[in-house]
Amino acid sequence: MGKRRLIKQNRIFISIIAVLFILFGLILYFGSNQIYEREAKWQHGNTVARLHSGKEIIEKYFSEFKHNLFFLSDLPATRGYVNSNFESTLYKNETVEIFLSFAKAYRQYSQIGIVDSSGREILRIDNKQDGTGSIVSDSNLKNEKHQHYFQDTIKLDKDLVYVSPIHLNIEQENADTPNVPIIRLAIPLFNSQNEKKGILTLDLHISKVLELLPENTFIQTEEGNILSLKPDWTINFYKSNYVFQDSSGWLHLSEVETIHYSTVEFLPGRKFIVAIYHSHPLLKAALQRLIFTSVILLASFLCLILIIGYLNVTRFRELISAQKAIIFSLAGLTERRDPETGSHLERSKNYTAALAEQLRRNKKYRKLITTEFIEDISDAATLHDIGKVGIRDSILLKESPLTHEEYEEMKEHVRIGKQVLQDAIDKFKLKQTFLIMGRNICAYHHEKYNGKGYPEGLKGQEIPLEARIFALCDVYDAIRSKRSYKDALSHEEAVERIKSDSGKHFDPDIVDAFLKIEKKFAQICNTK
C-alpha cells in the first residue's frame, strides 16, 4: 500500500473517530432529553392541579360578576329610576347611594354606569382600588352612542349579557391607575312595560382576578395580550409570544421551562387562556445512568485520540482493526444494560457479514453488495439497538413478558435510535455509509416483508436492503437465545420458522441465501 494512500486512509480513520465522538455525544444528549421530558411530565401533576384550581377560581369569579350585574339592575331603586324614564330625582339619589355602597364593598369593580337608550350617560360611579367611589358630575358624563359596547348591548334581548374584550381602562382620564386592564359587562334595562330604556354597565379590575390565582399564573386574552402580576403586584400587559394550540396542554420552552395552559370560557362566547409558568431543576437521578455512560465514552475517545497522535503511517492497518473494535465496544455499552443478551452484538455482526456475502452471489445483488457494503453492514449491525439507551430499566430488564403498554414503549427504541443517528448525520452533514446503514437498521429492522411490521409498516423493496438482511439475523439469534421468559429453540426449529416466514416476515431472496449457509449460522451461534 502506497504512502499517500496510507496517509489518506489515516486521515479518514481520524475523521471517523471524530464522528464517533460526536455521534455518541449526541446519543447521550438526545437520549437524556427524552428521558428528561418523560419524567418532567410525571412531575407536572402538581402544576396541572394548580391550573385546574385557577380555572375554578375564574369561573366562580365571573359567575359572581354576572350575578352582581343582574342584582344591581333588579334593585327597587334602579327599577324605579328606569320606570321614571330617568327623570325621578328621588330614585336617582337612591340608586347613586346604593351604587356607592356597592362600590365600597366590592373594590374589584372600577365603574358602575347607566346609559339611556340614546347613548347618553345618565350616571356613572368611578371606584378607586382603595374603595373610595365617587359620582361623576353631569358635566363630565359622555354620549356613548358610537361606542361598540353600547351599540352591541342595546340590541340585546332581556337576560342577555354583553362582554367586552379585556383592555385598558376605558375612562382613562378618571382612572387612578390607567394601565390596569378591565373587562366590561353590560345588560339592557327594561321598564315595567317591557320597553328598552337603556343599559347598565359594570367594569371589573382583572388585577383582582390575577391576585387570586396561583403563583406564576398569567392570562392570554383573545387578542393575544398577556396579563400577569409583577412582584410589586402591578400588572404586566403586553403582546404574547406564545402560541397555544388546542383547548389545553403544555408548551415546552426549554430544558427547564414549561407552560401549562387551558382555555376558560368564563361567559358564553368569551374565552381566554389561563396558563402557569413552571420551572424545574434538572433531573439528575433520571440522567445518572447516562452521565456515567458519557464518562466512559468520553474517556474511551480521549484515550483513542491520544493514541492516534503517536501512530505512524506504517501502523495504519492496526488502526483499522482498532477502529472496528472501538465501534463494537461502544455499541456494546447499550447491550451491557441487559446481561441476558450475552454476545448478541458479536453474533449479529458475524451473521450479517455471512448472509450478505452469500446474497452477493445472487445476480440481482452482485452490483449492490460490494466488499465495502459487507464491511459497512457488519459494522452498522452493532448499532441496531443503540436506541435502548432511552428505555427504562424496569422495561428493558423485565424478567417476565411485557404488557401491551410496556411493549409499545419498548418499540420506541427504533425511533430513538433512528432519531439520534439522523440528528448526527443532518447536523454534521455526515456521509459515512456505515452510519447511514446503522440508521436504517435501527429504524427498520422490525419491519416485515408483508408490511405488518413496525414502526412504519413498510413492505417489500420499501425496506432498505441492509435492514432486510439484518432482520433475519436478529430473529435467528432471538430464537436461539434463552431469555428469562422463554427457552432457546434448536437450530432446526429456527430454520423451519424462518422458512415458514419467507415472503411474510422476510425477503424470499434473503431466506434462500440463508438456507444455503444455515449451518454456518449454527456454527456462529455455538461459538462462545
pLDDT tens digits, one per residue of 245-300: 778 887 877 766 778 888 887 777 777 888 888 776 545 444 555 556 665 666 66
Looking at the DSSP bridge assignments, the partners of residue 271 are 265
Task: Give me the mean pLDDT over the 178-188 stretch.
Answer: 82
Cis, peptide link before residue 401, omega less than 30° from 0: no
Q: Which residue has the higher pLDDT, 510 or 343?
A: 510
Cα angle vertex 94, ends 89, 95, to 5°?
95
**Predicted local confidence at residue 46, as pLDDT:** 73
Taking the C-alpha atoms of residue 315 and residue 447, their distance in angstroms, rounded to an integer, is 42
Q: Which residues of 195-230 are buried (b: 16+ CB within 10 A; e: fewer)?
A: ebbbbbbbbbbbbbbbeebeebbbbbbeeebbbbbe
Are 239 and 260 a contacting pair, CB within 8 Å? no
What percentage of the chain reaches a pLDDT higher than 70? 76
160: left (phi over 0), alpha (psi -120 to 50) or beta: beta
Task: Give me the mean pLDDT over the 237-248 stretch.
Answer: 78
Long-range CB contacts (within 8 A, 24+) of 332-337: 332/382, 333/293, 333/296, 333/297, 334/385, 334/386, 334/388, 334/389, 335/385, 337/388, 337/393, 337/396, 337/397
**DSSP category for residue 486:** B
Taking the C-alpha atoms of residue 286 and residue 48, their distance in angstroms, rounded to an integer, is 22
Taking the C-alpha atoms of residue 386 and residue 242, their distance in angstroms, rounded to an integer, is 35
Whole-Å CA distances, 169 to 65, 174, 188, 210: 17, 9, 22, 16
Looking at the DSSP bridge assignments, the partners of residue 121 are 115
What residues contact 41, with CB distance under 8 A and at least 6 apart?
250
**Nearest Cα to 24, choosing from 450, 308, 501, 389?**
389
**Nearest Cα to 332, choosing from 317, 318, 320, 347?**
347
User: Grid coordinates in use for 91?
Assistant: 330614585
pLDDT beyond 80 at 12: no
Taking the C-alpha atoms of residue 419 and residue 439, their distance in angstroms, rounded to an integer, is 8
Of 20-29, 77-86, 128-137, 281-290, highest mean pLDDT: 77-86
86: left (phi over 0), alpha (psi -120 to 50) or beta: left
DSSP H stretches of helix in 429-464? 433-444
pLDDT beyond 50 at 176: no
Measured N-to-C along each axis, helices 3-42 and 316-335 cross at an angle, to the nearest 10 degrees, of: 10
Phi, psi (rounded to 5 degrees) for 335: -60, -35
Strand runs (DSSP E) across 97-180, as ranges? 109-116, 121-127, 133-135, 162-163, 167-168
Of 147-151, 236-240, 300-304, 313-317, highest mean pLDDT: 147-151
What residues contact 2, with CB distance under 8 A and at least 6 apart?
none
User: Grid coordinates in use for 29?
Assistant: 444528549
Provide the pairing of β-strand 217-220 with 225-229.
Answer: antiparallel
Q: What is the CA radius of gyration of the chain?
A: 36
Taking the C-alpha atoms of residue 92 and residue 98, their distance in angstroms, rounded to an integer, is 10
pLDDT digits (tens, 9 = 90+) for 102-115: 998 888 888 999 99
Task: Give me the mean pLDDT over the 338-343 stretch.
Answer: 57
**Predicted local confidence at residue 175, as pLDDT:** 41
User: Grid coordinates in use for 369?
Assistant: 453488495
**Predicted local confidence at residue 397, as pLDDT:** 81
pLDDT beyond 90 at 178: no
DSSP, residue by residue, 196-235: EEEEEEEEEEHHHHHHHSPTTEEEE-TTSEEEEE-TTS-E
pLDDT beyond 50 at 323: no
The Cα diameter of the chain in Å comes to 114
Residues in the chain: 528
Looking at the DSSP bridge assignments, the partners of residue 261 are 249, 275
Give the amino acid at 379: D
Task: Give me the mean pLDDT over the 352-371 stretch.
Answer: 95
Are 179 and 168 a contacting pair, CB within 8 Å? yes
Q: Which residues of 8-44 are buried (b: 16+ CB within 10 A; e: fewer)?
A: ebbeebbebbebbbebbebbbebbbebbbeebbeeeb
Cβ neighbourhood burial of 237 (10 Å; 0-12, 13-18, 19+): middle
**Predicted local confidence at residue 524, as pLDDT:** 95
**Predicted local confidence at residue 479, as pLDDT:** 95
